[in-house]
Structure 1
């Protein structure tokens, strides 16, 4: 009975969490025009992000932990 109940209740709870929490955030981001993944090409030839010289410091890769 527990396995059957888990197979029925679990998708309902997961679906409710998705539609109550994640969907409003996604709609709000679309309304305000946010593009966090930078999927839109905006007057650029590439999706690559330009880096400054300060970001290219090779000592950052040593002793990472």
Structure 2
């Protein structure tokens, strides 16, 4: 298939990164806060994989156009 928007690929990835960045930042700050409080480091690293997983899923959804590109 022919790509109708040849320049949109890099722009979509950038927009996706900007959309996911606040969530990822809050999640990483939460891990730092837990470790700073002196909580067992295992709890801090136990919540890190779900934060990263959801961030990657959101980035894929935004960059592929699955979210926000509904043309009817």
Scaled by the length of structure 2, the TM-score of the pair is 0.38
Q: Which has the larger radius of gyration?
A: 1
**Greater share of helix:** 2
